Structure 1
Amino acid sequence: MSEVGKGTLTTHVLNTATGLPAAGLGVRLAQLQEPGLQWMELAHRHTDEDGRCQPLLAPGQAKAGTYKLHFETAEYWQGLGHTSFYPFVEVVFIITDPAQKLHVPLLISPYSYTTYRGS
């Protein structure tokens, strides 16, 4: 059984082409389930005017394991009248300490993206 902690998971998306937050971008969180190695969706949110959304894992929900954030970038860019080279961005990461607060920011433009472990 996976260890459960009090950590949270948040994200923040910035449009580096404009220097502004990416509002209205769809974000999905999934966890890799074993056996069978299938992804189970845990949350679906949209970013607010500041490019943030409600925590994807609230305190007490985090468990050790492999997760992915799926960012719906093509729909976001289409909404702004642009095309995007990347139809979506997926960031896969491992939670080893469920008590930690995790923040996974994403910086996007129509032809690039960058992510890192934030604080």
Structure 2
Amino acid sequence: MNTLSSHVLDTTLGKPAKGIPLTLTYPNGDKAEGVTNDDGRFNGWAENGASGFKPGIYTLRFHCQPFLKENHGKSFYPHIDITFELEQQGGHYHVPLLISPFGFSSYRGS
């Protein structure tokens, strides 16, 4: 069963990015939304508690501009899209995002 979570950290402040809206786009074009919690995390996708995510190519959009402008006064990125592929029986997928007003980085976490 495939599950999905994410975590956003503000590397300039050295702390979690609370309140970042997320939009997940499914392979068929459907969308779901979420918001990072006080620890910068989100794992509340309905599929995490049901039968899991189907294999396919997904896009996770992090709407980071409001957070970055509020905390740093500027943001080069209105949003950051991370597109990834979930494999059949791939297990748990964790998509962390490290952000600053002028840079970002991501990787497959655990």
- Structure 1's consecutive aligned runs of 4 or more residues displaced over 6 angstroms after TM superposition are none
**Whole-angstrom CA distance in 2 between matches of 1:101 and 1:31:** 17
Do the aligned residues in 1 keep the contact of 2:3 with 2:48 (CA within 8 Å)? Answer: yes
Q: Which residue of 2 aligns with 1:72?
A: 63
Do the aligned residues in 2 keep the contact of 1:7 with 1:99 (CA within 8 Å)? Answer: yes
Q: Which residue of 2 aligns with 1:21?
A: 16
1:10 pairs, out of 5, 13, 17, with 5
2:38 pairs, out of 40, 49, 62, with 49
2:95 pairs, out of 74, 86, 104, with 104
Do the aligned residues in 1 keep the contact of 2:34 with 2:44 (CA within 8 Å)? Answer: no
Q: TM-score, normalised by structure 1?
A: 0.83
Do the aligned residues in 2 keep the contact of 1:62 with 1:99 (CA within 8 Å)? Answer: no
Does 1:40 pair with 2:30?
yes
**Whole-angstrom CA distance in 2 between matches of 1:97 and 1:7:** 8
What's the CA shift for 1:81? 5.1
What's the CA shift for 1:71? 0.1
Do the aligned residues in 2 keep the contact of 1:16 with 1:107 (CA within 8 Å)? Answer: yes
Q: Which residue of 1 aligns with 2:78?
A: 87
AA in 1 matched with 2:19: G
- RMSD over aligned Cα atoms: 1.4
Higher mean displacement: 14-23 or 52-61? 52-61
Q: TM-score, normalised by structure 2?
A: 0.90
Matched residue count: 108
